[in-house]
Amino acid sequence: MSSPLGVYRPGTSVLHRLPVGAKLLGLVVACTAVVVTHGPPAALVALGCAVVLALVARIPLATTARSLRLLLVIALVGGAFQWWSSGASRALETLLDVVTLGLLGLCLTVTTASGDLIDAFVRWLEPFRRFGVDPDRVALTISLTISSLPETHALALETRDAARARGLRSARAYLTPFVIRVVARAHETGAALQARGIGD
Amino acid sequence: MPLIRLEQAGVTVPDTGRVILAPTSLTLTEHRVAVIGGNGSGKSTFARLLNGLVLPTTGRVLVDDLDVARHGAAVRRKVAFSFTDPSAQLVMPTCVEDVELSLRRTVRDRATRRAQAVDVLERFGLAGREDQSVHTLSGGQRQLLALAGVLATDPEVLVADEPTTLLDLRNTRSVGELLLGLPQQLVLVTHDLDLAVRCDRGIVVADGAVAFDGPAAAAVDSYVASVAR
């Protein structure tokens, strides 16, 4: 099962023990820093820091590779475009930055149970309840979004294999059933949530 | 045990007028009720009427005198529902988190909630899998987790829509034993006739209407005879 998002791994590292708020704030600050600093040397330093964090969190290499594979493809395409439009230095910086951001995000998701993350959101959104915000609903939306990614990915692989098995090569033979299945799955999930009384 | 009553409850597609379930009146009082019938016969629609996932277009469905159409949320707290494909109802990444999601409304304290969720997992034979990803579970374990998720809140009734259809023989047996051993009232939609025959009452649905209603063994015989013809 490959997913663009790292799934939580229980552990006892410093990153595991930090409160969610501190980690999320750290992530925001670090990401902002990565984006506002320019030039390949700065980008390289940032990537080095991210690698150190990943080592501290003891994220297995296999998990890292699997989670960042898709991101790397995007980074390479983006980098190639930048090379053509703004030159090699800019392209290298973009490539390094994207990998750094991915790695930083991974550090958060691997060391934080999504339940803790959701609870933190619910706490922070509590003051906005008087303006009509329902914190539990927002939290559920976030967790559904996260869990739908591996689900959708699995559906994509299944549909592709089904098209291949019938020797169909056109994009339509793959995309039409894929889109229909994703929508059908969304309906099923909605019915399941309703049946469990979640969001009532 | 709550009283589930259908009063001329039927479902028709509004645009085409196609009848999915003809107006049906019956009362479910038995501990274990099996619902059997062919594919597309209206079994699933019948099951979904019982907790308001599908609303009747004619007549009404009452659970303890609560109209399902008007008090859907209250009814669903009493009547839990499980689906054929457990993947559709498991929404959280790890086992314990999915059970915790069910408990979120009733147990506000995070530590208590987790402890209760771990207890529930143990009861359903998933001890030690708290932090395992739901995607790495086998089909049988996934169905057990889905059942754990809907039963964690101690509902009074469980409606299970073909819970063993996707499972192998061993898992079919273990899930079947679990369902038939529940203290809750069980409405079991199934193609597994061995399981159906062990219920207290059998309802055969054919062509969008109840074709037979009586003791489970007689219902199974009637269904088998209708296919042989």
What are the sequence ranges of the domains in chain B?
A: 4-228
Q: Which residues contact B206 (CB under 8 A, 6 or more apart)?
A: B37, B38, B41, B226
Instruction: Please report whether residue A117 resides in a domain.
Output: no
Q: Are residues A108 and A20 in the same domain?
A: yes
Q: Please say which residue of A112, A138, A159 terminates a domain.
A: A112
Chain A CB within 8 Å of residue B94 CB: yes
Mean pLDDT of chain B: 92
Same domain, A97 and A175: no
| Interface residue A181 vs chain B (CB under 8 A) | no
Determine the pLDDT at residue A2: 40
What pLDDT is attached to residue A29? 94
CA distance linking residue A184 with residue A186, whole number of Å: 5
Structural domain includes residue A169: yes
Q: What is the DSSP string of A49-96?
A: HHHHHHHHTT--HHHHHHHHHHHHHHHHHHHHHHHHHH-HHHHHHHHH
Please check whether residue A69 lies inside any domain of the structure: yes
The answer on A159 and A96 residing in a single domain is no
Residue A15: pLDDT band (50, 70, 90) is confident
Q: Which residue range is the domain that position A133 belongs to?
A: 128-195
Check if B143 contacts A (Cβ < 8 Å).
no
* Percent of chain B scoring above 90 in pLDDT: 70
Domain presence at residue A183: yes
User: Regarding predicted confidence, which is higher, B105 or A42?
Assistant: A42
- Domain membership flag for residue A123: no
Residue B227, both tokens: 């296919």
Predicted complex ipTM exceeds 0.90: no
Q: How far apart are CA A51 and CA A61, in angstroms?
A: 11
A107 and A132 share one domain: no
pLDDT band with cut points at 50, 70 and 90 for residue B62: very high
How many structural domains is chain A composed of?
Answer: 2
Element (H, E) at B60: strand B58-63
**pLDDT level of residue B6 (50, 70, 90 thresholds):** very high
Give the residue from chain B lying closest to A6, CA to CA.
B93
pLDDT the model gives residue B205 = 95
Which of B77, B94, B135 comes nearest A1 by C-beta? B135
B128 touches chain A (CB under 8 A): no
The answer to whether residue A153 is domain-embedded is: yes
Which tens digit of pLDDT belongs to each residue from A112-165?
877 788 778 888 888 888 888 888 788 788 878 877 887 888 889 888 888 888
- Asked whether residue A120 is assigned to any structural domain, the reply reads no
Of the segments A19-23, A153-157, B131-135, B210-214, which one has the largest average pLDDT value? Answer: B210-214
Query: Is residue B59 classed as helix, strand or coil in its secondary structure?
Result: strand
How does pLDDT run across B26-43, given as a tens digit for each residue? 999 999 999 999 998 999
Same domain? A103 vs A144: no
Residues A96 and A55 placed together within one structural domain of the fold: yes
Which of A47, A82, A112 is a domain's end point? Answer: A112
Of B91, B94, B135, the CB nearest to A189: B91
Burial class (CB in 10 A: 0-12, 13-18, 19+), B15: exposed
Q: Does the pLDDT of residue A7 top 70, yes or no?
A: no
* pLDDT of res. B31: 95
What is d(CA A77, CA A91) in angstroms, rounded to the nearest whole number? 10
Mind telling me how many Å the CA of A68 is from chain B's nearest CA? 19
Q: Is residue A7 part of a domain?
A: no
Which residues of B fall within a CB distance of 8 Å from A136? 104
On the question of pLDDT at B122 being above 70, the answer is yes
Q: Is the pLDDT of residue A72 over 60?
A: yes
**Both A78 and A141 in a single domain?**
no
Indicate whether A190 and A156 sit together in one domain: yes
Q: How would residue A4 be classed by pLDDT, with cut points 50, 70 and 90?
A: very low
CATH of domain B4-228: 3.40.50.300
Least confident of A41-45, A164-168, B56-60, B138-142: A164-168
Find all residues with CB under 8 Å of B2, minimum gap 6, and list them: B63, B64, B78, B79, B156, B157, B185
In this complex, do A197 and B153 lie within 8 Å of one another by their Cβ atoms? yes
* Average pLDDT estimate for A171-184: 90
Q: How many CA atoms lie within 13 A of A146 on its CB side?
A: 22
Are A191 and A103 members of one domain?
Answer: no
Q: How far is A172 from chain B (nearest CA, A)?
A: 25
Which of A31-45, A103-117, B41-55, B154-168 is least confident?
A103-117
Q: Is B175 helix (H, G, I), strand (E, B) or coil?
A: helix
Least confident of A7-16, B23-32, B111-120, B217-226: A7-16
Looking at the fold, whether A153 and A80 belong to one and the same domain comes out as no
Q: Residue A195: which of B76, B85, B87 has the nearest Cβ?
A: B76
Last residue of a domain, one of A72, A87, A112: A112
Would you tell me which residues 101-160 of chain A have a C-beta closer than 8 angstroms to some C-beta of chain B?
113-115, 119, 136, 140, 143-144, 146-147, 150-151, 154
Let me know: does B21 contact B61? Beta carbons within 8 Å.
no
In this complex, the residue of B73, B82, B92 whose CB is nearest that of residue A147 is B92
